[in-house]
Amino acid sequence: MSDSSPLPPVRLHSEAELARDALATPLLSRAVRLARWAGPATRVGAGGELVEEQLATAAAELGLDGEDAAAYASEAWRVAVDTGLVEVVDEEEGTVTAGAELDLVLSGAPQDVLGLWLVALETVLADASVPDLDDLMEAMDEGGEVDFSTLDWDPEAEAEFLDGVLGNLYLLTAGEDGPGEAPVPLPALAASMIVPDDMGEPTNDVLEQVSDAMMRLDDQFRVLEPVGLVDFQPVDEALMADTDEEPAAPVDVPLDDSVDDSVDDADVSRYGMVRLTPLGVYGIRARLLEAGFVAPAVGDLADKGADVLLDGTSVFPPTSAQAETEQWLARRDPLDAARELLAAARGSDKGAPLRRLRCQQALSLVGTEAAPALHEVLDDAELGGLARVWLAERGVPDVPPPSEGMVFWLTVDTIAAQLAAEGNSDELQALVEGLAAQHGSFFAAAWRVDHPATPDVLEAMGRLHPDKKVAKEARKAAFKARSQQGG
């Protein structure tokens, strides 16, 4: 995942909702309870960990029992210390007191609570990259020291692997072609880190690597679920009940973010399913921003100018672009918004056609109260065509017909915008074929259109049209247009 190009925009819940979710997570709520429980008799070790003889009391305070109760209590205490909910008063004596951050739980703003949760998340992510307890016990020497060289464990590589997995899960959640908020099969997520994009049928060696990665992720997501990062359905224990080997990734599950209809959902789910929670989307986005990625959220542009809106949404998928535009419009008077959008849509730079397309899409969300703004630009060479379309679609009377030159200019501008937005799409090819069929002399007139993108548009039409004769006409017209523009 490159940090140079923008990631798909995500829709975030409000900070108030997210803060409530954070306080309700098992791990942070336990940490808060232990911070309130801690008193003069509480003792910690040199690393701030709760002393072993008090773990049972702490677990009872949390209502935990069973063989993992002490481990859960220890983890919650560590989070309480890391987040500042508890402060060590005297390291030698091992005494503690309630930390200054504890007041934020009741009186802090939602952003303060989310700040605590992000610290807790970092603690848990670090834990998730550590080998499991059984491996650590096997690597322990007679003196009780762990020989990490026997573990084949690279802390940096483990952290990078988990970051990559969470980044892919974020992309699948944010992308309009992905599963969105639906859970992702664990084999598919593991495969996204292992299987090369250009690989056809995975080899047995690759499938074995996917299975290994799947089981690592099963362990890691079990650790990450209590902090509220993910909703996770673990790998079915029955798959491993009768064998010492890790279960193989199901070969009939597509190794991508989707599951074919022919594959039984129940069978797939036995291999684990995971999705980011709304809080998890917020957390991963915060980490991506911290790492220098461009990770927009819907609503980021609501208080910006129309120029920023049109340029920003030019790289958004259609649904996200509309959602962002709706939030922008909601803050403005329709007539003022239309005038601002039209002013921002002007220009002859390379990005101008796509700005005008986004402007046209934004104006489609505005009612007839914006009509005066469209009337004002009827004589504008760049905006007159789209203004006539908008007014005609709303049945506004007495709209002057466009000149032939304006029609051709608008056609070139529209194709240039679609090329920028979608590339050589099937929809654009259909448009190109339709234009050539409806207007037999289209290319004879189109090369004269005074638009900066005319040569590129005609070249694209020659590339996209399946009829060799028509394609040749388009390429000849493109050559004439380029010569006319001095290219």
Annotate 60-84 with DSSP letters as a single string: HHTT--STTHHHHHHHHHHHHHHTT
Q: What angle, rounded to 10 degrees, do the helices at 384-393 and 404-422 form?
A: 90
Predicted pLDDT at 254: 46
Predicted pLDDT at 412: 95
Please give the DSSP secondary-structure letter assigned to residue 108: S
Q: Report yes or no: 369 and 335 within 8 Å, Cβ to Cβ.
A: yes
CA distance 49 to 51: 6
Q: Which residues pair with 95 in a beta bridge?
A: 90
Predicted pLDDT at 257: 44
CA distance 22 to 14: 12
Long-range contacts of 81-90 (CB under 8 A, 24+ apart): 81/44, 81/48, 82/119, 82/120, 82/122, 82/123, 83/28, 83/31, 83/116, 83/119, 83/120, 83/123, 84/116, 84/119, 85/31, 85/32, 85/34, 85/35, 85/116, 86/34, 86/35, 86/38, 88/44, 88/48
Place of tokens 């020291």: 145
Strands (E), 211-353: 230-233, 273-276
Classify residue 152 by burial, with Cβ atoms within 10 Å: 0-12, 13-18, 19+: exposed
Q: Report yes or no: 359 and 310 within 8 Å, Cβ to Cβ.
A: yes
53-89 pLDDT, tens digit per residue, is 999 999 999 999 999 999 999 999 999 999 999 999 9
Which residues, including other chains, have CB under 8 Å from residue 98's CB and lie 6 or more apart? 35, 36, 38, 85, 86, 87
**Residue 144 zone, left/alpha/beta (φ > 0; ψ -120 to 50; rest):** left
Q: What is the largest CA-CA distance in the chain?
A: 94
CA distance 245 to 243: 5
Q: 8: closest CA among 359, 342, 257, 188?
A: 257
264-302 pLDDT, tens digit per residue, is 566 778 889 999 999 999 999 999 999 999 999 999 999
Q: Report yes or no: 229 and 127 within 8 Å, Cβ to Cβ.
A: no
Please give the DSSP secondary-structure letter assigned to residue 270: T
Q: Report yes or no: 302 and 331 within 8 Å, Cβ to Cβ.
A: yes
Classify residue 86 by burial, with Cβ atoms within 10 Å: 0-12, 13-18, 19+: buried
Virtual CA dihedral for 175, 176, 177, 181, nearest 10 degrees?
70
> Tens-digit pLDDT profile for the chain (487 aa)?
555 678 889 999 999 999 999 999 999 999 999 999 999 999 999 889 999 999 999 999 999 999 999 999 999 999 999 999 999 999 889 999 999 999 999 899 999 999 999 999 999 999 998 866 555 455 555 665 655 565 666 778 888 999 999 999 999 888 766 566 789 999 889 988 888 777 777 778 888 888 888 899 999 999 999 999 999 999 888 776 654 555 555 544 444 444 444 445 667 788 899 999 999 999 999 999 999 999 999 999 999 999 999 999 988 888 899 999 999 999 999 999 999 999 999 999 999 999 999 999 999 999 999 999 999 999 999 999 999 999 999 999 989 999 999 999 999 999 999 999 888 788 888 888 888 887 778 888 899 999 999 999 999 999 989 889 988 999 999 999 999 887 6
CA distance 441 to 446: 9
Neighbours of 481 (CB within 10 A): 25
Predicted pLDDT at 259: 43
Which two tokens mark 352? 């101008």
Predicted pLDDT at 308: 97
Which two tokens mark 179? 């599963």
Which two tokens mark 43? 């003792």
What is the helix (H) or strand (E) element at residue 104, kind and residue range? helix 102-107
- pTM of the predicted protein model: 0.83
What is the helix (H) or strand (E) element at residue 282, kind and residue range? helix 278-290
Report the DSSP pairing between strands 95-98 and 273-276. unpaired
Backbone angles phi, psi at 246, to 5 degrees: -75, 145
